[in-house]
Structure formats: structure tokens, C-alpha cells
Amino acid sequence: MAEAVLFNLATDILKLAGSITFSEIQLVRGARDELDSLKETIETIRAVLLDAEKQQWHNNQVKLWLARLRDVLYDVQDLLDDVAAEDLRRKVTPGNKMSKAVGVFFSKSNQLAHRRKVAKEIQELRKRLDRIKKDREFRLEEHQREETMAIASGRKPEISAPDEQIIGRKKDKEKIKRLLFDPSSSDTVSFVSIIGKGGLGKTALARLVYNDGEIEEHFDLKMWVCVSDVFDVNLIIKEILKSANCQDYENKPLDQLQRLLHETLGKKKYLLVLDDMWNEVRLKWLELGDWLKSGEPGSKILITTRSRMVAKVTDEKSAFYSLQGLSTSESWDLFREVAFGDRQASIDQRLEEMGRDIVRKCAGVPLAIRTIGSLLYGKKEDQWNRYRVKELPEIPETDAIDNGIMQVLKFSYDHLPSCLKHCFAYCSLFPKDHVYDKEMMIHLWVAQGFIESSNGEDNLEEVADNYLSELLCRSFLDTVIKCDDEVLNFKMHDLMHDLAQKVAGGECKIVNFKGGDNDSGIRHASFSSEIFSEEKMVSLLKTSKLRTFLYLGGESSVLNSPKVFSGCRHCRALGLDKIDIPLLPSSFGKFKQLRLLYISANQSIQSLPDSITDLMNLQILKLIRCRNLKTFPRDLRKLVNLRHLSIDGCDSLTHLPPLSELPSLRTLILKYSNALEFLQQTSDPEQSNTTHSFFPSLEKLCLLFCGNLKGWWGRMQVIRAYQKHRLDNSRSSFPKLRSVDIVGCPSLNFVPPFPRVEYLHTDSTKMLKQQLMVNPNCPSEATVGSTFIPFSELKRLDLDGRDWEPSTLETLLRLASNLESIILDKCDLRVSLMVCSTFPCSRNSRFGIVKDSIYHAKKTSMAPNGDTLRNFIFLK
């Protein structure tokens, strides 16, 4: 990952070159020369980094050299970021409001001392970098950095769900089904084990079987659990209960979990899939196995594993199914589909010859075929030939040696654009079989600076979404859940996880503090359910300069110590999941570089500490299921870089600060916060300035299931002031708002207008009517004689519920001149008919869908006339 780190560092230096802070530092004698020398050294090293990353795989000397290089580069970046953070603090804190201490810090004499100190540190870092450049007793070739900006605006690949179009496994599927239907075993519960080396598709085959219709009919209950490396009986039982849709299994001791498992499986013929088993200790299995015998005769446990010993440990009488690689023709079919996009397309004879030669290297292993094929997709003939002649011959065939598949995957990794290498390796922070939330992962990537903007103005989340799509397309990640062709969750194959850990080189690590582990050099760390001491944690933080601190749940008392967070001053992402400790006010002042703060399931927080407003680099703030959180700090407006604010399941939250004063806020999500009545409790109408844009940067607004939410402001005078201003300038509120979800807020009677919205999802007739019509004398009740606001940019409309007034919808459809699609969910049929007859037919209007209509209708029972929708579909 070093080459990507260096590129990001060089970019930061260039950005600072034009800043006031940087110019002032250059005034110090010699500082300009030191900075210029630093940049020249970076450019010199940069040219050989791609070759160094490839060589470190088999050359320990290169690996150590890269580790030293990364350390000094991180230190340079930390120094520059600290300078920029102090500069930002000075700009955000007005001179007449500074505390005495801040005033002293920014005095001229202090500023000069600060510049000299920074200049001296730059000199020392430049010397360290020069020594590393010279201390190289091996040859490295220079390579140009691959252009990666195309990913930001390039194709977004079509991503197939894992079960779709799996090649070559129909016969295997039928054989596994016969083994599962076989009643010959005398035991109540019997075992079937799918055995095969990594990458063959054991999990994919098991999933095909699991989702089969005949399997569905044969078993009363189906459950799927990923076991992987750690065989934790307590955790496995919880996952079984979760898969069986059991409730109330959290926080129960093992004996109660076992009784609940016994009750869940009793008197049912069940199928349990234990995916990716590694346990070879019989005694460990017996702790679990005895509790799985509660089912009815015919119950089956399907195991996927690489080891026959694992299968024998579970049951000597287990039916073994040894999975083989794909045949030559099946391998070619899979390769054609991935490398050319179509299994049936005609192919140039020269490319076919090279393709078949490359496929032989993969020895029928689907994962190897997919990754190599994805790499070659869209490449020209000379690139195919270069890979086949110069690079692939150095890799042994997949089945020739034990790690053959890993070398094929590493080959594909080496040819990833540098910006994707960071993102892929970072995924190793989570355990095997973890289901990644796409939005959270994208936010983590952005917080770490992994996402590159071609012009400084790109939406980084959109660019990151394209990065993710590219990794999915190249088979480095696998889709788990999609909605409307958008990926919501994804996973990593366990071999890909092994590769991610390998290429991260110790920078990204799940820390367990077990004896013998070398935790030096960690920059990104996650911690889970292990119980460890404050001393070990503090020692790690002193030596590691962590940029990521993710606590994934478990014993959290160690985090009560102020020493822990005081050691995280370089941290850019802080995730505290399922901890229950108060947040110490003194802790957050240390996090100058923090970009992401995620807190979930913390019942000890009643208010966020005021020190959070000092986190001026904070971009993403997520608060999830903090049930006792009541208030926010008043000066949240100081968070000038905050782009995403998500509050979900904070039931006690009663007050929010004026969020409209956050200049960079792009996404506001407020869900399941039932104590909140108003988004802004404004006591004086004059406090709300109606002459400026309202939420100048907001692009996405979600207000979901806030049952007591009544309006935006708590004073009617403010509403009237905004309504009057709206008549004068209807486009001043939410100037960039494009996506709005307002559902489950029945008491909501006023939201400032959003005339530029492109996507609208709501179940509120009152809110929609109020958006359409303006009456300054009666702001909460629109009248027919009111002024209409056109929804000229609305393209997609989703409406829920049965209380819609046809006249209101007719007005909306008339004002929404560019509407392309409508989805009506649980709507009255007369409303559906009105929409059908009103919605204009144009080149852009593609379809309207009515879901769960109160009248049962078949797809073809009512076709619209030629002047309305092209496709109008009723779905029961």
C-alpha cells in the first residue's frame, strides 16, 4: 500500500503549498529549501514503489525498507495535518470570542515560535527520508503510477447476486440434495460435509442447495451460520438462534442459550449449514454438538470445510462430498463471461488462444478464473499477451503447490489501481465472514483519505461507491444484499481476507494482545470481545500512532481510562460499537485529525461533551441506539467540515442545535427518535436568518419513524418568517437537496420547501400538500388559492399509504414536468387510476408501479391507453 500512501502525501503537500499557513512557514529561514528538497525526495522514491510492493512478497529486505519508509511518510503527513488543523482552528474561532489561552497561542510571538518549530521538524523528517532513500542495497525498477481517476467516472459494472448464473455446479447440487434427503441414518441428526480446497466454490454450492425450492419444502427450519477461524460455542449458538429468527437471545449466559436452542430445534426437521469450519478438536465440537440433537429425525447439518479431519471431528459417519474443480469447458465458459462480458459473444481467435492458455493456469478453480478474467476485462491484446508471456509464467499452476491460488490472487492484486489497494487491504480490519455495511465502509475509506478526487470537487462518497463497484467487479468482494441494483452489504471470500491481511503488512490488524504477536507498526486497529488490560492498550497506543480505532464490542471497562483516548491524537476514525461507558469531556480535545466518529449502543451517554465541537476536521458523525442521549452541544456549527450526520434509535433525544448553520452538511439522517418534537428549538425568530440559503450543502434528507416530530421549528413566528421569505425567493431553501425520505412522521406539519428535489419518498399527505402550496397567513394548512411551487426537477416519486387525495397528486403531477417514474405502495385503486391517466407519456417516463394495492389485480388486467404510461404494473 506504500505507493498509495506516498501519492496521498504528495497531494497533501501540494494542497498546503497554496495555503496561508504554508506560506508563513516558508518565511522561516531555510524552510522553503527543506520543503522543496522533501518533495524532490518523495518524487524520487515514488517512482520505484510499485516494484517495491511486488518484491516485498518474497524479499524481506524490501519489506523492511518499505516499513521504514511508511513510518516517516506517515510522520510527515501527521505534521502537515497538524499545521492545517491549527490554521483551521484559528479561522473558525473569531478573534472577539477567543479565550485568553487561545489568544496567547495565536499571538505574533507564539506564531513565529510555532513556525520555527514546524520548520525544524520538516528538516528532521527530510533527513530521515534522505537516509532511507540512500539506504537501499537492492535494485528497484521505476514504474509510472497507473492512472486511477477514470474509476471516479468510469463504468459502474453490473453486479450479479452470488446465486445467479453459477456455472458447472448443477450436478453437484443435485448430489448434495440427495444426501440431504437420504433418511438412511439411524441418528436423529446426520451430517453432510462438502470438502475442497479454497476457491472451489464450496460456499456458493451450499448456498445453491440452501435456496433450492425442494429443500425449502423438505425442512421445517433452515439456518445458516458462518463459523470460520474462531470456534466459539457461545457465539455460534447465538448465530444459530439469530438465523432461526429467535428473539431475546442477547446478553444471556451459555446455559440459557443452550436451553433456548433446545426449544428452537425441538420437534422440527431442520437444516443447519455450518459454513467454513476449521475446528479439528473433538472436545470443542462436543460442547456444541450435543445441543444440536434436538431436531426431528431427518434433520441435517451441512458443513463446508477444506479439511476432511474437520468433517470427521463432527461425526465419523458424516457423508463426505469431495468438490472438484470445473471442467475445461466449464472453466472456459466462466472465463468468457467474466473477461468478455458474454458467454456467447464471438471472440477474436488470437484472444481465445491466449485466454485458454491463461485458463489452464487456474486449474478449474472458480475464484482464480474470476479474478484473472476480471483483470483482463476491457484490456487490449498487447496487455493480454504481456500478462501471458512475461508475468503469468512465474506463477505455478493453482493446484501445483499449496498456495497456488494465493499467488494467482496476489497477481490480480498487483494489477489493481493503487487507490483500490488501500481500500481492499483496509477490509482486513474486520473478522472473516463479516458482513460489511457499504455506507459505513465508504465513510471509513473517506475518513482515511483513500478516495481521490480528480478535480477537488468530486463527491467523495460517489467516487468511493465506484471504487467498491470496481472491487466487486474484479471479484475481490462479493455482494450479499442488493436493493434496486444498489449494493447494500458485501462480504470477502476467506482467501481474499487472507490476501488482504497479507498485503496490509501489519498496518491493518485485529488486535487480541495474545502472547507472541508483534503489534508494532499498526496504523489501523480493531478490537473485539477479548478482555485485556489498560496497560496493554496504553502501551500499544504509545508506539503505534493509530489512525483507526474500531472497538467492535465486548468488555469495554478498559476504555474508561483517560489514558486510552489521550493516546489517539493521530486517529482519523474512531468507532465505539456496543460499549457502555460515559464519554470523558477531556478525551475529545486530543483528536485534532478525527474525521469519523461512530458510537452505537451506548446507554451511558446523556449528552455529547462540548469538546466534540473542537473536532473541526470531523466529517462523519454517527450515533446509533444511544437510548439515553438527550442533547447535543450548542456550538455544533464549529464543525465546519461535517458532511454526514446520522442519528438512529436515540429515543430520549429532545433537542438539536441549529443544524442549518453547518456549511458542509450533505446528508442528514434522523430515524426512530420519538422524543424529538422539533428539529430546531428556536426561541427568537430573529435568530433564524432568512436572507441566507437554508442548509446550503444538504443533498440528502431522511426523517424516518419519528412519531412525535411536529415541525422544523418550535415557534410559529419562525415558520411564518420562512413562508414569507419563500414567496419572495422560493429557491433559497435547500438549494442542493436532491433526495428526500419522510416516512413514519404522522404529526409533521411543516418542513421548509425543497423545490429542487429529484427523488421524493413520503407517506404524508399533509407534508406534500404543504410543499406544493404556500399560504403565508396559514403556514400549516395550504389552501386552493395559494401560490404553487413547481417540482420541475422531480424524477422519481415513491408514495406510501391509502390516504392520498387525488387532487393533491394531480397538482403534483402537473407541476412535476420531468417525472420519470412513480411507485405507489398500499394505495387506493382510485388514486392508482388517477395517476395512470395523468402521468404523461414521454421519452423519459418509463414505468409506474403499484405495490400491495387494496384491490387484487393481475399484471395484465388493466393496460393504460397510449397517452399514459408505457408500463403500469400491479404487484400484490
Could you report the per-residue pLDDT of 167-223, keeping only the tens digit for each? Answer: 889 999 999 999 999 887 778 889 999 999 888 999 999 999 999 999 999 999 999
User: From residue 64, how far is each of 70, 124, 136, 315, 671 by CA, in Å?
Assistant: 10, 21, 11, 46, 48
Mean pLDDT, to the nearest integer, of 366-394?
85
pLDDT for the residue 648: 96
pLDDT for the residue 2: 58
* Cα–Cα distance for residue pair 382/603, rounded to 1 Å: 60
Q: Are 628 and 605 in contact (CB under 8 A)?
A: yes
What's the grid cell of residue 600? Answer: 452505537
Could you report the per-residue pLDDT of 784-814, keeping only the tens digit for each? Answer: 334 566 788 999 988 887 778 778 788 888 8
User: First and final CA of the chain: distance in angstroms?
Assistant: 51
Q: How confident is the model at residue 149 (pLDDT cuts 50, 70, 90)?
A: very low
Mean pLDDT, to the nearest integer, of 628-640?
89
Q: Are 550 and 525 in contact (CB under 8 A)?
A: yes
Mean pLDDT, to the nearest integer, of 382-399?
76
815-818 contacts: CB < 8 A, separation 24 or more? 815/772, 815/788, 815/789, 815/790, 815/791, 816/790, 816/791, 816/792, 817/790, 817/792, 818/792, 818/793, 818/794, 818/844
Q: Which residues does residue 273 pair with via DSSP β-bridges, in sequence order?
A: 224, 302
Judged by average pLDDT, the poorest of 74-88, 177-191, 302-316, 678-692 is 678-692
What letter represents residue 835's amino acid?
A: V
pLDDT for the residue 856: 32
Mean pLDDT, to the nearest integer, of 412-416?
87
Mean pLDDT, to the nearest integer, of 137-146?
69
Q: What are phi and psi of 707, to 5 degrees?
A: -60, -30
pLDDT for the residue 102: 45
Q: How confident is the model at residue 862 (pLDDT cuts 50, 70, 90)?
A: very low
With a cut of 60, say whether residue 497 has pLDDT above it: yes
596-599 contacts: CB < 8 A, separation 24 or more? 596/443, 596/444, 596/446, 596/447, 596/572, 596/620, 596/622, 597/621, 597/622, 598/440, 598/573, 598/574, 598/622, 598/624, 599/623, 599/624, 599/626
What's the grid cell of residue 674? Answer: 420519538
Mean pLDDT, to the nearest integer, of 435-446?
95
554 vs 160, more confident? 554
**Conformation bin of residue 777: beta by default, left when phi > 0, alpha when psi is -120 to 50:** alpha
**Of 68, 83, 67, whose CA–CA distance to 121 is shortest?**
83
DSSP 8-state symbol, 648: E
pLDDT for the residue 85: 82
Q: How many CB atoms lie within 10 A of CB 399?
A: 15
Q: Tell me the range of 395-409, 600-614, 812-826 where mean pLDDT is highest.
A: 600-614
Helix (H, G, I), strand (E, B) or coil at 88: helix
Counting DSSP H helices and E strands in the chain, the numbers are 30, 27
Q: Which residues does residue 822 pair with via DSSP β-bridges, in sequence order?
A: 797, 848
* Cα–Cα distance for residue pair 491/161, rounded to 1 Å: 12
Pairing of strands 787-788, 773-774: antiparallel
Q: How confident is the model at residue 641 (pLDDT cuts 50, 70, 90)?
A: very high
Provide the H-helix boundaries in 27-107: 31-46, 49-55, 60-92, 100-105
* Cα–Cα distance for residue pair 62/51, rounded to 1 Å: 10
Mean pLDDT, to the nearest integer, of 246-261?
83
pLDDT for the residue 567: 75
**Of 440, 524, 541, whose CA–CA distance to 490 is shortest?**
440
pLDDT for the residue 5: 65
478 vs 686, more confident? 478
pLDDT for the residue 61: 85
Reduced DSSP (H G I as helix, E B as strand, rest coil) percent helix, strand, coil of the chain, to 5: 45, 15, 40
pLDDT for the residue 279: 87
What's the grid cell of residue 406? Answer: 494465493
Q: How confident is the model at residue 232 (pLDDT cuts 50, 70, 90)?
A: confident
HSE-CB at 438 with a 13 A cutoff on CA atoms is 22
- Buried b / exposed e along 699-709 (16+ C-beta atoms within 10 A): bbbbbbbbeeb
Pairing of strands 573-577, 596-600: parallel
pLDDT for the residue 515: 60
Q: How confident is the model at residue 111 (pLDDT cuts 50, 70, 90)?
A: low
Q: Tell me the range of 257-261, 467-471, 553-557 where mean pLDDT is highest.
A: 467-471
- Buried b / exposed e along 819-834 (16+ C-beta atoms within 10 A): bbbbbbbebbbebbeb
* Cα–Cα distance for residue pair 221/552, rounded to 1 Å: 30
Mean pLDDT, to the nearest integer, of 86-93?
77
261 vs 841, more confident? 261
* Cα–Cα distance for residue pair 507/160, rounded to 1 Å: 32
pLDDT for the residue 805: 77
189 vs 554, more confident? 189
pLDDT for the residue 685: 43
Average pLDDT, the chain: 79
pLDDT for the residue 686: 46
Residue corresponding to grid cell 396559514: 778
Could you report the per-residue pLDDT of 727-767, keeping only the tens digit for each? Answer: 445 456 788 999 999 999 988 887 888 888 999 999 877 77
H/E run at residue 446 = helix 438-447
What letter represents residue 288's amino acid?
A: L
HSE-CB at 873 with a 13 A cutoff on CA atoms is 11
Could you report the per-residue pLDDT of 43-80, keeping only the tens digit for each? Answer: 777 777 777 777 777 788 888 888 888 888 888 888 87
pLDDT for the residue 785: 39
Mean pLDDT, to the nearest integer, of 611-639?
91
With a cut of 70, say whether residue 3 has pLDDT above it: no
CA torsion through residues 727, 732, 738, 740, sign: negative
With a cut of 90, say whether residue 645 has pLDDT above it: yes
Per the document, the length of the chain is: 876
pLDDT for the residue 683: 47
* Cα–Cα distance for residue pair 837/466, rounded to 1 Å: 38
Q: How confident is the model at residue 379 (pLDDT cuts 50, 70, 90)?
A: confident
Q: What are phi and psi of 436, to 5 degrees?
A: -85, 135
CA 257 to mean position of chain CA atoms:
31
Mean pLDDT, to the nearest integer, of 126-136?
83
pLDDT for the residue 558: 73
435 vs 684, more confident? 435
